[in-house]
């Protein structure tokens, strides 16, 4: 069963229900409005007061907040994309760094192509889902799962890379923190997770301030830098960091330039995020999401070009010890002054907040895949704050593990990055091209209803198909370049992981299909009638709890057998005598256990009973269980029911029933008083 929000509306056949009221719907069916109110607890303080499903329409966001939520990943990439280009070009010496700006122009052209494509996707698929939905509706199941695997992998890497890059900015200004960068990054991931668990609207407003603060500070830095450049007062970096030694200088080859280009295309990661999260926007969703996408791409292109151009003019050096942004800021703003620190802090915060784009999209996409049965269905359940809590927590754990393994090194994580997003770009645009082809072959007035949208004839289908086809070719070429140039640096890991994730999807889907086949009511006559109960009551000793369980057992069947496993003849005799007094004539079987085993002899006895079971007969194992108000006291008792359940779970016709007996804890009672 999956979560399908009604956006505050009751199903058409169900009248609005006030708390506690009841409405008869059909014969034997009663609809009742619940008057339950979640109590305040530590979770309320941590993630906020639970929200009703009816509050869903009020949790949507506008364009300004949407830019902060969904564009922070793309905008923040300007803080490290230029540096990644320079890192590769540095292998050919300082003179090769001049190629960075022409490479950035090529990347911005690619950005324009991808933006046009996704702007079309937003209007064609207003329900969101991006590349996954487009591929599912137009290319088939396997391409859809490849797109989902690629995007989910990319979102995990987005969190790891952006937070690690943010911490790198921080350690550039405060070098004493460098040895602790991995733990600082993991703490930041947990912080962003907690904010996202509080809900889309609240996290959006929280992240809007640092996003716009970053944009203002970077705009000032680039504007001041350009003004000083054109007036001749910019100069070069003072005391630049030492560039990492390259063992063998390379020549400036096409391969080197393509390698640098592929590293710089990380600036495009996050462009698809808005198309995945359209449902988070206020109505009209598609229009608001489309405008936000254009805002994001325009700002991204201008900042990326400005930073790359100025970095070349000041002679910025790629280094792990001081970022290019730090070198640019202290050169353009004349030293490590207050404005410089504001730029560093703004960049650090936006890079950490950039993880929020993944936190906004990973849970939504995993929920869609979960609803289709390719991921655990729990990922499709909304939490108390109307967000997909399981997805948020899952993303946090996996990203933190990556950060710990790679010790928050951006250079080590970057090769794993961007292959997934360009694979999804290619599948999305290929799917859109096929969609326009299908549209062109529909008659005027004819409609084709698909799971993700309704398709009608489009008079401009040829032009749109050409745009998306060209975009698909461009992004496919970039993906191949990235895979080849970054293969030995670690990209092979992603090329292995994505197929493994797809295989996992299909294993999960196979399980759900098999489950549905077993549970279907098609060609199902009637459930098997239980004609007779045979009850087995495991007995450790004779006490109030066991007698209460005996009373329950006798209420469901006249055929009850108490079974005591003994390792001590003296204890067995005590049990027998007490049972004669309190057993109400119920037969008792004492099983001798010479090897001092308790559960195994009981299972052997149940096996013998099971083999002689008649058709229509059900074996019920009734297990007494002590329940104490103190959680700590629970470990003092053997959990026999759990052992039996694990051992007998796959055996048809055997049921395990726990009969709790509440134990009064005097210390606990005194504390409550």
Helix (H) / strand (E) element for 432: namely helix 419-440
Spatial contact of 272 and 87, defined as CB atoms under 8 Å apart = no
Binning the chain into helix, strand and coil, the percentages to the nearest 5 are 65, 10, 25
Query: CA nearest 70: which of 60, 84, 85, 56?
Result: 60
Give the CA distances from residue 308 to residues 258, 269, 419, in Å, rounded to whole numbers and listed in that order: 17, 17, 22
Query: Does 290 share its domain with 412?
Result: yes
Residue pair 357/70 in contact by the 8 Å Cβ criterion: yes
Residue labelled with tokens 């079971």: 613
Rounded Cα distance between 96 and 88, Å, is: 9
- Whichever domain contains 616, its CATH number is 3.40.50.620
Do 246 and 331 lie in one domain? The reply is: yes
pLDDT of 511: 92
- Whether 540 and 496 map to the same domain: the answer is no
Q: Answer whether residue 525 is part of any domain.
A: no
User: Domains in the chain: how many in total?
Assistant: 3
Structural domain including 622 reads: 532-672
Question: Tell me, what's the pLDDT at 44?
Answer: 64
pLDDT at 1 over 60: no
Last residue of a domain, one of 511, 543, 572: 511
Read off the pLDDT of residues 394-430 as tens digits, 9 standing for 90 and up: 999 999 999 999 888 877 787 777 788 889 889 999 9
Torsion of CA 567, 569, 571, 576, to 10 degrees: 120
Q: How far is CA 577 from CA 306, 320, 581, in A?
A: 91, 79, 7
Tokens standing for residue 620: 């019920």
Q: How many other C-beta atoms lie within 10 A of the C-beta of residue 143?
A: 20
Q: If residue 368 lies in a helix (H) or strand (E), which one and from where to where? A: helix 355-371
Residue 22 pLDDT: 62
As given in the structure block, the two tokens for residue 134 are 């487009």
Of 496, 491, 480, nearest to 258 by C-alpha is 480
At a CB cut-off of 8 Å and minimum separation 6, what does 337 contact? Answer: none
Task: Report how far residue 451's alpha carbon sits from residue 131's, in angstroms, rounded to the nearest whole number.
Answer: 14
- Coil, helix or strand at residue 541: coil
Which of helix, strand or coil describes residue 613? coil
What string of DSSP letters covers 224-248? Answer: HHHHHHHTT-----SSPPPPPP-SS
Structural domain contains residue 346? yes
Query: Do 91 and 369 meet the contact criterion of CB atoms below 8 Å apart?
Result: no
Binned at pLDDT 50, 70 and 90, residue 8 comes out as very low
Quickly tell me which residue has 């590293």 as its tokens.
263
Mean residue pLDDT of the chain comes to 83
Q: Decide if 66 is inside a domain.
A: yes
Q: What is the CATH number of the domain that holds 259?
A: 1.20.1740.10
Contacts of 510-516 with CB under 8 Å at 24 or more apart are 512/373, 512/377, 513/373
Same domain for 195 and 240, yes or no, is yes
Q: What is the pLDDT of residue 59?
A: 67
Flag whether 40 is in a domain. no
CA distance 215 to 342: 12
pLDDT tens readout for residues 603-649: 899 889 888 888 888 999 998 887 766 665 555 555 666 777 778 77
Q: Which residue has the tokens 């054109």?
A: 230
Same domain, 308 and 453: yes
Burial of 251 (0-12, 13-18, 19+ CB in 10 A): exposed
Q: Which pLDDT tens digit goes with each residue over 226-259?
A: 999 999 888 888 888 876 645 456 677 888 888 8
pLDDT at 247: 46
Last residue of a domain, one of 450, 480, 511: 511
234 with 328: CB under 8 angstroms? no
The SS3 call for residue 71 is: coil
Tokens found for residue 466: 């050409």
**Is 50 part of a structural domain of the chain?**
no
The reply to whether 526 falls in a domain is no
Kindly tell me the burial class for residue 451, based on how many C-beta atoms sit within 10 Å of its own C-beta (0-12, 13-18, 19 or more). exposed
Q: Would you say residue 433 lies in a domain?
A: yes
Q: Note whether 501 and 561 are same-domain residues.
A: no
Q: What is the pLDDT of residue 6?
A: 39
Confidence of residue 222 (pLDDT cuts 50, 70, 90): very high
Kindly report whether the peptide bond that precedes residue 284 is cis, defined as omega within 30 degrees of 0.
Answer: yes
Give percent of the chain above pLDDT 90: 30
Same domain? For 462 and 498 the reply is yes
Q: pLDDT tier at 502 (50, 70, 90 boundaries)?
A: very high
Write out pLDDT tens, residues 339-393. 999 998 888 888 777 788 888 889 989 999 999 999 999 898 877 676 788 999 9
- Residue pLDDT, tens place only, 292-333: 999 999 999 999 999 999 999 998 888 877 888 999 999 999
Please give the C-alpha separations between residue 364 and each of 68, 252, 272, 287, 539, in angstroms, as whole numbers: 17, 43, 13, 20, 50
End-to-end Cα, the chain, rounded Å: 42
Q: How far is CA 293 from the centre of its chain?
A: 22
Task: Mark whether 26 and 123 lie in a shared domain.
Answer: no
224-238, 315-329, 505-519, 546-560 — which is least confidently predicted? 315-329
Residues of the chain with pLDDT > 70, as a percent, come to 85
Q: What is the DSSP letter of 514?
A: H
Closest C-alpha among 589, 590, 602 to residue 647: 602
pLDDT of residue 673: 43
Name the more confident of 192 and 383. 192
Q: 506-516 burial by CB neighbour count: b if 16+ within 10 A, else e?
A: eebbeebeeee
Residues 448 and 578 in one domain: no
Q: Given pLDDT bands bounded at 50, 70 and 90, which one contains residue 3?
A: very low
Q: Is the pLDDT of residue 670 over 50?
A: no
pLDDT tens figures, 129-161: 788 999 999 999 999 999 999 989 988 988 998
**CA dist., res. 348 & res. 352, Å (int):** 6
Residues 445 and 537 in one domain: no
Q: Count Cβ atoms within 10 A of the Cβ of residue 85 and give its class: 0-12 exposed, 13-18 middle, 19 or more buried.
A: buried
What integer is the mean pLDDT of 34-53? Answer: 65
Q: Rounded distance, CA 499 to CA 360, Å?
A: 24
The pair of structure tokens assigned to 502 is 């797809």
Res. 24 pLDDT band, cuts 50 70 90: low
Q: What is the pLDDT of residue 301?
A: 94
Is residue 232 domain-resident?
A: yes
User: Do both 24 and 64 map to the same domain?
Assistant: no
Checking if the pLDDT of 96 tops 50, the result is: yes
Are residues 10 and 4 in contact, defined by beta-carbon separation less than 8 angstroms?
no
Question: Do 151 and 211 belong to one domain?
Answer: yes
CB–CB of 445/459 below 8 Å?
no
Using the predicted structure, report yes or no on whether residue 654 has a pLDDT greater than 70: yes
Report the range of poorest mean pLDDT among 39-48, 192-201, 206-215, 274-283: 39-48
68 CB contacts (<8 Å, ≥6 apart)? 204, 207, 208, 211, 212, 353
Q: Alpha-carbon distance 553 to 555, whole Å?
A: 5
Give the helix/strand (H/E) hosting 220. helix 200-230
């Amino acid at each position: 069963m999956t979560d399908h929000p009604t956006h505050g509306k009751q199903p058409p056949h169900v009248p609005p229900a006030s708390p506690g009221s009841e409405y008869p719907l059909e014969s034997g069916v009663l609809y009742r409005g619940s008057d339950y109110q979640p109590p305040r607890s530590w979770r309320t303080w941590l993630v906020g007061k639970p929200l009703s499903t009816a509050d869903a329409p009020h949790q949507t966001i506008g364009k300004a907040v949407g830019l902060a939520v969904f564009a922070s990943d793309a905008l923040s990439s300007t803080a490290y994309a230029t540096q990644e280009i320079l890192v590769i070009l540095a292998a050919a010496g300082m003179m090769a760094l001049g190629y960075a700006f022409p490479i950035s122009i090529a990347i911005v052209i690619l950005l324009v192509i991808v933006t046009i494509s996704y702007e079309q996707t937003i209007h064609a698929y207003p329900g969101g889902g991006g590349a996954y939905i487009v591929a599912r509706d137009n290319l088939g199941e396997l391409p859809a799962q490849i797109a989902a695997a690629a995007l989910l992998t990319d979102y995990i890497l987005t969190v790891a890379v952006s937070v690690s890059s943010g911490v790198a900015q921080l350690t550039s200004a405060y070098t004493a923190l460098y040895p602790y960068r991995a733990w600082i990054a993991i703490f930041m991931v947990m912080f962003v997770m907690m904010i996202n668990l509080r809900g889309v609207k609240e996290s959006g407003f929280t992240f809007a301030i640092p996003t716009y603060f970053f944009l203002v500070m970077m705009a000032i830095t680039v504007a001041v830098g350009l003004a000083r450049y054109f007036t001749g007062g910019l100069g070069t970096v003072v005391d630049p960091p030492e560039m990492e030694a390259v063992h063998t200088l390379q020549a400036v080859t096409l391969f080197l330039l393509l390698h640098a280009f592929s590293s710089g295309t990380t600036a495009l990661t996050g462009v698809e995020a808005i198309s995945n999260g359209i449902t988070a926007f206020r109505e009209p969703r598609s229009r608001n999401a489309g405008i936000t996408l254009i805002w994001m791409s325009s700002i991204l292109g201008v900042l990326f070009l400005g930073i790359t151009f100025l970095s070349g003019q000041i002679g910025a050096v790629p280094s792990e010890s001081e970022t290019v942004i730090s070198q640019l800021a202290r050169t353009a703003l004349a030293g490590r002054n207050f404005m410089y620190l504001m730029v560093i802090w703004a960049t650090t915060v936006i890079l950490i907040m950039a993880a929020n784009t993944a936190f906004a999209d990973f849970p939504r996409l995993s929920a869609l895949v979960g609803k289709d049965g390719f991921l655990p269905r729990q990922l499709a359940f909304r939490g108390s704050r109307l967000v997909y809590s399981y997805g948020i927590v899952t993303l946090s754990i996996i990203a933190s593990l990556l950060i710990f393994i790679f010790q928050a090194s951006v250079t080590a994580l970057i090769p794993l990055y961007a292959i997934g997003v360009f694979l999804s770009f290619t599948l999305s645009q290929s799917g859109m091209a096929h969609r326009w082809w299908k549209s062109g072959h529909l008659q005027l007035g004819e409609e084709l209803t698909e799971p993700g949208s309704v398709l009608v004839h489009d008079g401009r289908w040829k032009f749109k198909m050409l745009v998306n086809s060209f975009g698909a070719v461009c992004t496919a070429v970039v993906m191949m370049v990235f895979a080849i140039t970054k293969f030995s640096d670690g990209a092979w890991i992603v090329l292995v992981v994505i197929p493994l994730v797809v295989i996992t999807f299909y294993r999960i889907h196979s399980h759900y299909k098999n489950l549905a086949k077993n549970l279907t009511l098609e060609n199902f006559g009637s459930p098997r009638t239980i004609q007779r109960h045979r009850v087995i009551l495991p007995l450790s000793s004779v006490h109030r709890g066991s007698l209460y369980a005996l009373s329950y057992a006798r209420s469901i069947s006249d055929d009850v057998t108490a079974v005591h496993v003994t390792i001590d003849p003296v204890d067995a005799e005590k049990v027998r005598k007490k049972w004669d007094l309190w057993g109400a004539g119920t037969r008792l079987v004492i099983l001798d256990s010479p090897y001092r085993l308790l559960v195994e002899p009981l299972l052997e006895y149940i096996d013998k009973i099971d083999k002689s079971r008649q058709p229509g007969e059900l074996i019920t194992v009734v297990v007494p269980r002590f329940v104490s108000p103190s959680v700590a006291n629970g470990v003092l008792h053997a959990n026999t029911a759990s052992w039996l359940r694990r051992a007998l779970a796959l055996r048809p016709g055997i049921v395990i029933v726990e009969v709790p007996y509440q134990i009064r804890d005097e210390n606990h009672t005194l504390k409550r008083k």
